[in-house]
């Protein structure tokens, strides 16, 4: 246990025991980034508003690979020390539980991605530009933060960089101008956002408005692949409409898509935003299911977030099931047929994973995605279509811009249906053996 008054240097999640910090909650981040693309040089100031949840003589922030030059707490200089992954701050006067305080951190360096068991995470240079993909622990590669998914905050992100490049960040573009060969961009994201879902994307991008849609939707892309982008992302407004009927109102103010000039192994989710590689735009809809998957994360994973990484199926299982919902709604294979198809495929794989708590090494195992989706289809078959989609609407409304757990989902499902559903969820989420899909109940 930490000494009294010293904030813990962990959020207590066993999947990432070195990430996050104790003793406070953040309310907002104001990031002022000045970036030179040719040299990968970042000079920045982070202003963090927080509230102490315990008496604090010292607290810590997650930060790695960047050098801090000054820290202010409440407008006064604070003592600080850096370790490989933490910025330890000692304010001039201790903070009392319940105190609201502001931390200003000046820092600089050449950001690099973090090497983890899941690959490289965080700030990563492209051939000509930049992407940030932080899930689950890459955010500290570019700003000091409390890097745990349950500590959501609002964001303002200002970026100054070469004027020839477009900058795309979370939220609404509030201001943009160019002067002296430099472009200045300001984005505002008032919706509470987890650190791993905050992003900066920079490239020589053209921009396309995908409206008409109830949700302002844009895609940024290299002009050379405009035809492919129009073909592959033109259905996004219709996808939004389908998912609004299935899950409830779109939870963000807008939706932005970035297609990088580089090829990417997988698309990347962020709050109000998704990033694809040029290989995901083939002009033939080859990545249609991935387009649907990343969009669905705006409801599941981004708005309704998780407080602990063991519940990752609530993000990925729901997004995978959304792929099947879109397939059916668009006139392709039905969700039921896809569920039976993937149930057969999973039956040929090892039954050695508990998807309700897969462990850090396998939290992104494809079986978490597919069996998570099958869990939802089993629930749908058991309770019927109308109760199932009513449940999803209630889930996304109750936990909008918050966090939730598996236990809360099971509790809500039982409360809404009056049925004992623990055996179903235990079999699908907490046992290794693969259950059979139930026969359809009331429709």
Residue 7 pLDDT grade (very low, low, confident, very high; cuts 50, 70, 90): confident
Do 71 and 89 meet the contact criterion of CB atoms below 8 Å apart? Answer: yes
How much is the average pLDDT of 262-271?
96
At 39-89, the pLDDT tens digits run: 999 999 999 999 999 999 999 999 999 999 999 999 999 999 999 999 999
In order of 227, 340, 358, 406, 413, the CA distances from 422 in angstroms are 49, 22, 19, 11, 10
CA proximity to 173, closest of 216, 130, 133, 138? 216
Supply the pLDDT for residue 36. Answer: 97
Domain boundaries, given as residue ranges, for the chain: 1-109+134-193, 205-298, 304-430
> Rounded mean pLDDT of the chain?
96
Residue 5 pLDDT grade (very low, low, confident, very high; cuts 50, 70, 90): confident
Burial 216-250 (b: 16+ CB within 10 A, else e): ebbbbbbeebeebbeebbebbbebbebbbebbbeb
Q: Which residues are annotated as a binding site for Zn(2+)?
A: 293, 297, 316
Supply the pLDDT for residue 57. Answer: 97
What superfamily in CATH does domain 304-430 come from?
Neutral Protease Domain 2 (1.10.390.10)
Q: Which of 188, 191, 294, 323 is catalytic?
A: 294
Supply the pLDDT for residue 126. Answer: 96
Fold of 205-298: Zincin-like (3.30.2010)
294 part of the active site:
yes
Residue 213 has pLDDT above 80, yes or no: no
369 part of the active site:
yes
How much is the average pLDDT of 165-194?
97
Do 170 and 187 meet the contact criterion of CB atoms below 8 Å apart? Answer: yes
At 102-135, the pLDDT tens digits run: 999 999 999 999 999 999 999 999 999 999 999 9
Name the percent of the chain lying above pLDDT 70. 98
Q: What is the DSSP string of 85-108?
A: SEEEEE-SSPBPTT-EEEEEEEEE
Fold of 1-109+134-193: Immunoglobulin-like (2.60.40)
């Amino acid at each position: 246990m930490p000494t009294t008054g010293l904030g813990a240097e962990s959020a207590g999640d066993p999947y990432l025991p070195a990430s996050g910090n104790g003793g406070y909650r953040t309310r907002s981040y104001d990031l002022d980034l000045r970036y030179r693309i040719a040299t990968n040089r970042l000079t920045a100031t982070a202003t963090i508003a927080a509230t102490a949840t315990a008496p604090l003589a010292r607290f810590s922030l997650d930060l790695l690979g960047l050098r801090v030059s000054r820290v202010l707490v409440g407008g006064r200089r604070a003592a600080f020390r850096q370790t490989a992954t933490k910025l330890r701050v000692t304010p001039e006067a201790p903070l009392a539980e319940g105190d609201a305080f502001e931390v200003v951190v000046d820092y600089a360096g050449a950001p690099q991605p973090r090497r983890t068991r899941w690959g490289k995470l965080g700030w990563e240079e492209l051939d000509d530009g930049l992407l940030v993909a932080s899930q689950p622990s890459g955010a500290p590669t570019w700003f000091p933060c409390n890097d745990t998914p349950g500590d959501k905050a609002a964001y303002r992100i200002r970026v100054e960089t070469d004027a020839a490049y477009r900058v795309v960040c979370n939220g609404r573009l509030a201001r943009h101008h160019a002067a002296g060969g430099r472009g200045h961009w300001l984005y505002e994201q008032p919706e509470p956002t987890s650190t791993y879902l905050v992003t900066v994307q920079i490239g020589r991008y053209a921009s396309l408005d995908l409206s008409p849609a109830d949700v302002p939707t844009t895609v940024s892309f290299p002009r050379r692949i405009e035809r492919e982008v129009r073909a592959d992302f033109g259905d996004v407004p219709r996808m939004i409409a389908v998912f609004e009927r299935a899950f409830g109102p779109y939870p963000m103010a807008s939706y932005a898509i970035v297609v990088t000039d580089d090829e990417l192994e997988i698309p990347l989710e962020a709050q109000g935003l998704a990033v694809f590689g040029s290989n995901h735009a083939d002009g033939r809809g080859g990545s249609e299911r991935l387009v649907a998957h990343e969009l669905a994360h705006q409801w599941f994973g981004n708005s309704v977030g998780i407080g602990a990484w063991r519940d990752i199926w609530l993000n990925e299982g729901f997004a995978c099931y959304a792929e099947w919902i879109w397939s059916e709604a668009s006139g392709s294979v039905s969700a039921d047929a896809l569920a039976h198809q993937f149930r057969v495929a999973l039956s040929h794989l090892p039954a050695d994973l508990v998807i309700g708590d897969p462990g850090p090494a396998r939290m992104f195992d494809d079986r978490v995605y597919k069996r998570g989706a099958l869990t939802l289809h089993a629930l749908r078959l058991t309770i019927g279509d109308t109760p199932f989609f009513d449940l999803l609407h209630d889930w996304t409304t109750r936990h909008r811009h918050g966090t939730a757990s598996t236990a809360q989902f099971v509790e809500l499902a039982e409360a809404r249906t009056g049925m004992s559903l623990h055996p179903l969820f235990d079999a699908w989420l907490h046992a290794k053996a693969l259950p059979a899909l139930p026969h359809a109940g009331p429709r």
